[in-house]
A and B are shown apart, each in its own frame.
Chain A
Amino acid sequence: MSARLTAALLAAALLAASPARADGPSESSPENPPENPPAREVPDYDGRPEPDADPADAALWVPRILTGPLYLISEYLLRAPLGFVVTELERSRVFEFLFDVFVFGPDRNIGVLPTAFFDFGLAPSAGVFMFWNGFLADQNQLTLHAATGGLEFLMLTVRDRWRPSEETTVAARFQLLTRPDQQLGRIESPLPAAQRPTARYGVEQIEGGIDVSWRPWGRNLIGASAGYRGVAFLDRRWREEDRTVREIYGPDALPDAYATGFSSLDLGVRFVIDSRPESELSQGGVRVEGHAIEHIGFGGVPDSSWVSWGASAAAATDVLGRGRVFGLTATVRGVSPVGEAIVPFVDLPELGGVDGPLPGFQPGLVRGRSLAALVFHYTWPLHAFLDSVLHYGLGNVFGDTFTDFDVELARMSFGLSIAPRFEGTHLFELGLAFGTRPFRDGANIESVRFVVGARNGL
């Protein structure tokens, strides 16, 4: 008797009734012929007596019994019920039915997909994502994404992406957003601020714009954009335990534009020079990127104009081959007011979050007038579609154009992440990273950032 069979018998005895395989053969015969004979005996294939029972197999009953509960959980709480459900769904062609319901059009080019727990982090939410490939033109894709997590979480995004040629992309976007869960840690300018707990605030935002990019070859890119933003900040708690920005900062020291909100016209240019060949695996090479956006403010920040700018230079080498890439990236970012302009605090460069150079810091935790960071990263492939990245970085935010730059003010960020190796936004990410206080303040860990799940790339 095989070990697996005996273990199954034990499990069956303990459970009194073992789940049958969901997809076992069924008898069918219209003529109802006589019953089949009993199963034949297993032949004596080699003409030798059966060997004695293996004493090792008997001895293995000890660990089998000891880990029996784990087997029961694995086999009868996971495998059997899941197998039953998925099998029946497949047999009933439920997946095909759902696909037909949600994806249609002459070439399956139109789709409507529900989303849940996706659009606002893990906050309860539901939404719908629609796409229409070939809308009005062959190389045009229209997407619409709407989601809500109640009246406090609302989002509507419409994008149209047209590729008139292989190299050129013209994209238009429009978004309405309201959410109460934004966080603001500290704004360090010109010097590190006093310790403040993280504050919460809400945001209501409308924005739209157009973006044109041209990729003459490889990953190199030149682009320009023009857009409009209207932003209002809501000084209210998201959760009971939260403290608002007004409570933390006080009414006289609120971040710029927090009380008034703002509107702006944003005109930007950017470039990417990238020597890395296009490849599925990470590659070595040199990448230089720069951008500048002029913001012309009105509304809450009348007669204000400021320029966001940034550049990064990265050198990487696949010294070990096969996508195992060591790299060093230097990043500077800043925002420069034109004259005595007010710069809304959300336009201050931030150290961490989704777009910051130091992933160990939570979104909104550290912002400043300028930012400098140096990050060493090692990327290696886990599988055909999966990379892991180890990073160690130094950097911080500073005053206007690094006026108070000091190595002792540098913070550290280090961590590990796993993400699919696709260009653009990640569909999934798993990461753990840490951010510290500045060296001058002891470099103790100040931020722990654990990321699991999907990043909203829709």
Chain B
Amino acid sequence: MTRGWPAILSLALLAGCASAPARFALRDAMWVDDDRRPFPRRPGELYNPPQWDRIDHTLFRPLSELFTYELDREAINVNALDEVPDSSWFTNRLGRAPMSPQRLAQGACRDAGEPPRPWTVVRAKPAGTSPGLVVRAADDRTFLFKIDFDLPERGTAADAIATRLFWAAGYHTPCNRVVRFARDDLALATEPIDGHDPPGEDAVQRLLDAAGRAPDGRYRGSLSEYIEGQPLGGWRYSGTRDDDPNDVVPHEHRREVRGMVVLSAWLNHIDARAENNQDAWIEGDDGQGYLRHYVLDVGDSFGQQLPSSPLLSQSFGHAFYVDVQHITENFLSLGLAERPYFDAPRGPAGDVLGFYDIARFDAEGWHNGYPNPAFDRATERDRAWMARIIARFTEAQLRAAIAAGDLSRPEVSEELLRILLGRRERILERYLTRLSPLTEPTVRGGSLCLTDLALRSGLRAERRYYTRAFEGLPGERRPTRGARRYGDRACMPLPAAEASPEAPAYWVVDVVAETPGRERTAPARVHLYQLGPGAYRVVGLERPDGFDPPG
């Protein structure tokens, strides 16, 4: 299918067209994308014009794309198991291994403690819409220091919490901490540092006067540690960098960039744009290096609000800032198109969470602040991939992340937890009930087992499984003995054929999960080689969207 109205045309053209199925190669799934190959010439700094970015993605890019009739395509950097390999963009953390709440709470920070004081003010914050400071801790690490301006605790808490969730999901993020401090913890530099004149006492005091206070009377702010490497500007949500030989997959076709839309929807991170990303040059001892790609600023998450326009704030996540489609639909329908955000109430947590809620959350229809070329191209499989990661977050992990926000009122923390769990359930309900939520295929003792994320996440309690197997591709259907549930795993004995390492048999096994009285998901289609009696090797996992047999 395609995006937008060309879909009609392409659907007609697609009728009767299908490509032949292909076997997976007999090899391990790729879990590491070797895109950290050092190269000698450091790329230049990329400038992202914030205003043009908004205008272009809101008006001009969509207009041009109307005439390209671009067909939807699946993401490129997807391995044989329908997962994303580790790379300079993404590291499988929660998606591949258990993570303790304590580890998640630490996030990208190298240790759990605060940087040693005093924090010497080096200069004013160089960019961004809100003022802040650059400070250097006693251990010589540099941090961006920010405060809450209009809404106490909102920004600093969101920054610390959402950054940890992004990190746990797999993205490269900075280490952000909420800090409480006294005036004496900030020292003013007496001379220029790194060529920058430090701000005066008055400027610092003005900033502190605007800062919120913790219940213990100390100031409240956040410290964001400078990321490793030299910053080279924010990576964009489309295209590649010509000066990075490792960057060969157009960003709009990277699954972790596309799938971010679901994570952003969960957290209501509406400000996903190039200016909030960062490429960093990671240089080795030999002077060569590579680029690592960070998601830098997610502090708008949860309840971002514009004090001047609560109504616009209510629409965050439901419509673009200037939503041409909504405006047109609302106009033509005389307002009969339902827009629940127009009367969204502020939640019980007040300004800290604003209009962040469950009731009006539409996991599929969530909107970034303005159109995003990668989010626009996210397919069902990209979205389901991120949903599977989100399914792995436990309540204990979420509590640990929320604790990092140092919210002063426990009821606000509880409310945030409630909303996160509620929105998570909506995401899982949407994306784990159509494509298969079965994952992590393993073979042991002649049995194939898969983890059922609908069970593990608590989305479903009862399950039935149906299986079928095909020898070859396209192949002959062979009888199977069904699958049984073991905890949150579904296991089935594999059929056998005459096979040897020299003449392996190729098997395609479909496992369908069904919740009695509710949905029957499309199958998890596992591809295996049988290399001998009882010797199987998983080489691929597909998630078709229907029940047609392979081939």
Chain A residues engaging chain B, CB cutoff 8 angstroms: 2-4, 7, 23-29, 31, 33-49, 51-52, 54-57, 59-60, 63-64, 67-68, 70-71, 74-75, 78-79, 82-83, 86-87, 90-91, 95, 280-281, 320-324, 378, 380-386, 388, 390, 418
Contact = CB atoms under 8 A, between A and B. Distances in A.
A42 to B, nearest CB: 5
Contacts of B34: 40, 43
A74 B312 contact: no
Interface range on chain B: under 10, 10 to 19, 20 to 34, or 35 or more?
A: 35 or more
Contacts of B335: 320, 322-324, 380-381, 388
A39 B30 CA distance: 20
A31 B65 CA distance: 41
A388 B327 CA distance: 10
Contacts of A3: 68-71
Given A36-B245, A90-B52, A64 B68 contact: yes
Contacts of A44: 30
B6 A33 contact: no
A385 B321 CA distance: 10
B467 interface: no
Contact of B27 (A27, A47, A75, A388): A47
Interface string B14-39: 10010110111101011001110101
B330 A383 contact: yes
B249 A42 contact: yes
Q: Considering the complex of A and B, which 3 residue pairs feature the smallest CB-CB distances, nearest first? A: A380-B335, A47-B25, A71-B67
A60 B23 contact: no
Nearest to A380: B335
Contact of B42 (A28, A75, A87): A28
A320 B25 CA distance: 59
28 contacts: A2-B70, A25-B233, A36-B245, A37-B245, A39-B245, A42-B76, A45-B30, A45-B33, A46-B78, A46-B80, A47-B24, A47-B25, A49-B22, A55-B13, A56-B14, A60-B10, A74-B60, A83-B60, A90-B50, A280-B310, A280-B311, A322-B340, A323-B343, A384-B312, A386-B327, A388-B330, A388-B335, A418-B331
B248 A25 contact: no
Contacts, number: 225
Contact of B287 (A23, A31, A75): A31
A382 B246 contact: no
B46 interface: yes
Contact of B19 (A2, A51, A281, A324): A51
Given A280-B310, A385-B311, A47 B30 contact: yes
A119 B248 CA distance: 53
Given A31-B287, A281-B342, 4 more contacts: A25-B233, A42-B249, A95-B51, A382-B326
Contacts of B23: 48
Given A25-B46, A60-B6, A48 B24 contact: yes
Contact of A34 (B41, B71, B310): B41
B339 interface: yes
Given A24-B242, A42-B249, A64-B68, A90 B49 contact: yes
B120 interface: no
Contact of B64 (A40, A47, A51, A74): A74
A75 B69 contact: no
B495 interface: no
